[in-house]
Structure 1
């Protein structure tokens, strides 16, 4: 809050300040009182998940109870030991299964991929208050990724917004920004998604980048409107920064390095199986030979990263059971928080608060210095995550290395070295591969993902590596268009190494829809019309 020179307060202002702390305490409690299937259904929830009543573990947490959860639980306890009791039949009787979105949508492959995406926006749009159950209601319409992902997702939404911007859908961008602002103001942060079982974690902090998109559409002054919300999100990520010490260097998402620098990691406050992947997490913990809570915490922290899962989090680079996410300071997370600090400085300047602007500029400067010190490898010419427990970089090459270039944190020589490694090792026929390791996880080779293509292309452009950026964009767009014309679908991820195979790996089948794929594809084509797919060019010729 700005320091005011005038200390004369009205009675109304005094009352507001008196009640302000209670506002911030009460609001998050409302979200905690919502339906939490893993908590409210007790042993019924455990049995449904452990007996794999549904092939996808996310189905039951998304189902809507037809009566009070406690009443359903009591009926279950009364009936479960009776002869002929059928658990699946019981669940289907007492719960409404989640809807299958877009079941009536038919793809017309004679259309261009851009026309297809424009037809998809209404299909992927959800209205406020729909669904119920574990869904956290939002005040404005929003876009979901598609497939099994029936709710809004945090970092997905930034890349979806890129496509909305290309289609001049400013009102929908505004709605989505307002929804995330609502989540910050009511839960204290932006959850992984608007489900109650996601409340204990966030995702990569892209809210400030969303505000930049809105400012591009509505003018720079709009940033002032959202300054309180961004400050609050920053406080969530930085909780504990003032209390960590050399003897106790970590607290939640904050880590103090040996030189006193503060950097961040991913975290989750609940060391329990994820409700949406309950059976998978229990089985992993049991076969890991480790403390179960330790496994659950690291699994959830990786889910907060958005890279769930990748060998970048594995101690042996092969097995999910060795996951140690909370030991790692991710290069991409800290680049994003650098941008948050820079945005907060801009907001303070717009508000005329020079002191606060200088504070955030200093924080950003210190973060950049620490990131370059701890995550850059001169020997490899690449940015790596930093294992603060081991006191060294992980030396696992991943596309997270492009984030310091995206935010112009890297020195020119560093950017040139990263570009060289991208061209030499990461560039594949379909775009940039996520990592160089084939672990069987979806955020590893041979898969490529839309958000990382966008970050990579723009990172390269920032340092004038335009030819390589063009090559990445062209290969990615062609891959998307080929799959669309062959299948009628735009996918969550793609196999960029073998052009004849679909992407795989992970806990669930490859999903179609798909929010961030649509967004990045539209944005790339809008910036580079020469990448426009042939079907639209043919239609335009016919129209002439």
Structure 2
């Protein structure tokens, strides 16, 4: 299906001027505004007026665009109740963060069912955020809400052939970590294996998106095409990518500045690597940087990530289960074989025997990267690790990653938000569940308790649930990255509720 155009393509020069002149502090603000009139007439008027020495671009934008969040949600500002516990606060927040949007408006794409947005600047159904939001809804027995989000995700797969980062036109060139399989498995825990059978067609469609081009690999440089890479032993693994090579519309000014500062780097390659990091959800992290302290050295698309390939293994295994329950032995065998091959390739290329940890792999240089990150626990989460590898990972988590507030994202502090000292709810969950899967329950409990205590401590002081936390100390509030700390916050809420239920904390 032909992709809808994003605001950068529709608005042309006006768009570039608004973003580069920083009319809004956050570049996402403008891409989320809705035009009040036809785009053509707005552009024509801009062309006529912009040369006037008294022209005011900010006034022009406010006259021609409106903030959809204020017009669609029709909700009063969220009221903080000082007497609320964190759980009561979250329960009220779900209603505030719930959206229904059945008509395309500006860059916002219609979805058939209600959904929960992360909060703050994120006013749409984000892909991997949604899974962790669903965990919290499930913990409270809100299965209708869980199923609505899953149905919306399946709808986007039917419509586009994959799950976009979120339901925005400017996100249609990329996806995010493929958690659709885990969404299906979550609902299947409640409704039975029929859920896997029901969503098998969409799961297969998403799988084809990630594996697209595997027959073209031998014709390409480095044997890589889109999101698939062929290694020297013919193994197939995946990477993050993006179908466009321009500056991200929502971060246009920042990307252009990075490109200018990078000097001789080819701009479209740099933009691809920035976009690919955005597809990873880890935007930005030392994982993707040749120099861990320098964003200009980003090379995401050269890297085979541990987390993505662990999720792809789960996808292949679950597709095999789905076919098995439909009594399709040939397809069952095919996907079991694909999962087994991937498991072997993960062990061959992503396990570093010297470092005793799972590390991303730079297939251009044919060696592991040097950045230790919580992506290294995904093979435990997916059940790929052997007992010996799991034991080594557990030792590393306890020795290096465990901090007073939970587990830290990487061991590098460089000002990027997916690095130290930040901890993120989804990575706490993955780490805890990965350790539990291999029997490291005591360490899992320590991480869970420390994370909940940190969430509670920040909530007691601020009455906020925030996007990321400083797990090393201080105020506990996370920082770094391209925008200010957001509160709301979808996945923090979801993981908090799911962990409290798991630990039986009232």
TM-score in terms of structure 2 length: 0.97
| 2:458 and 2:477 in contact (8 A); partners too | no
Instruction: Say whether residues 1:263 and 2:233 are aligned partners.
Output: no
What residue is the counterpart of 1:24 in the other structure? Answer: none
Matching of residues 345-360 of structure 1 within 5 Å: 345-360=320-335
Instruction: Say whether residues 1:461 and 2:461 are aligned partners.
Output: no
| 2:290 and 2:297 in contact (8 A); partners too | yes
Q: Post-superposition shift, 1:83?
A: 3.2
Question: SS where residue 99 of structure 1 aligns?
Answer: helix
Instruction: Say whether residues 1:300 and 2:275 are aligned partners.
Output: yes
Question: SS where residue 255 of structure 1 aligns?
Answer: strand
Q: Post-superposition shift, 1:129?
A: 2.4
Provide runs of 4+ in structure 1 moved above 3 Å.
100-103
Matching of residues 210-249 of structure 1 within 5 Å: 210-245=183-218, 248=221, 249=223
Q: Deviations for 1:385-426, whole angstroms, at most 9, x for unmatched residues?
A: 000001000021000000000011001010000000100000
Gaps of 5+ in 1: 1-27, 533-544
Q: Post-superposition shift, 1:246?
A: 7.7
Q: Deviations for 1:240-278, whole angstroms, at most 9, x for unmatched residues?
A: 112212864000000000000000000001100100000
Q: Post-superposition shift, 1:217?
A: 1.5
Q: Post-superposition shift, 1:130?
A: 6.2
Matching of residues 94-493 of structure 1 within 5 Å: 94-99=64-69, 104-129=77-102, 132-245=105-218, 248=221, 249-289=223-263, 290-493=265-468
Q: Post-superposition shift, 1:108?
A: 1.8
| 1:59 and 1:98 in contact (8 A); partners too | no
Q: Deviations for 1:33-88, whole angstroms, at most 9, x for unmatched residues?
A: 4x521011010000000111111100111000011111110110011112311111
Question: SS where residue 27 of structure 2 aligns?
Answer: coil
TM-score in terms of structure 1 length: 0.91
CA separation in 2, counterparts of 1:365 and 1:480? 39
CA separation in 2, counterparts of 1:420 and 1:36? 46
Question: SS where residue 237 of structure 2 aligns?
Answer: strand
CA separation in 2, counterparts of 1:227 and 1:527? 29
Gaps of 5+ in 2: none
What residue is the counterpart of 1:88 in the other structure? Answer: 58
Q: Post-superposition shift, 1:440?
A: 0.3
CA separation in 2, counterparts of 1:395 and 1:311? 10
| 1:429 and 1:499 in contact (8 A); partners too | no
What residue is the counterpart of 2:475 in the other structure? Answer: 500
CA separation in 1, counterparts of 2:31 and 2:108? 10
| 1:184 and 1:233 in contact (8 A); partners too | yes
| 1:435 and 1:444 in contact (8 A); partners too | yes
Cα RMSD of the aligned pairs, angstroms, is 1.2
Rg (Cα) greater in structure: 1
| 1:246 and 1:258 in contact (8 A); partners too | no
Instruction: Say whether residues 1:513 and 2:488 are aligned partners.
Output: yes
Q: Deviations for 1:310-356, whole angstroms, at most 9, x for unmatched residues?
A: 01100011100000000000000000000000010011112111110
CA separation in 2, counterparts of 1:403 and 1:328? 16
Q: Structure 1 residues 415, 95: CA separation in 2 closer, same or farther (over 3 Å shift)?
A: same
2:39 aligns with one of 42, 52, 69: 69
Instruction: Say whether residues 1:59 and 2:25 are aligned partners.
Output: no
Question: SS where residue 229 of structure 2 aligns?
Answer: strand
What residue is the counterpart of 1:36 in the other structure? Answer: 6
Q: Structure 1 residues 247, 118: CA separation in 2 closer, same or farther (over 3 Å shift)?
A: closer
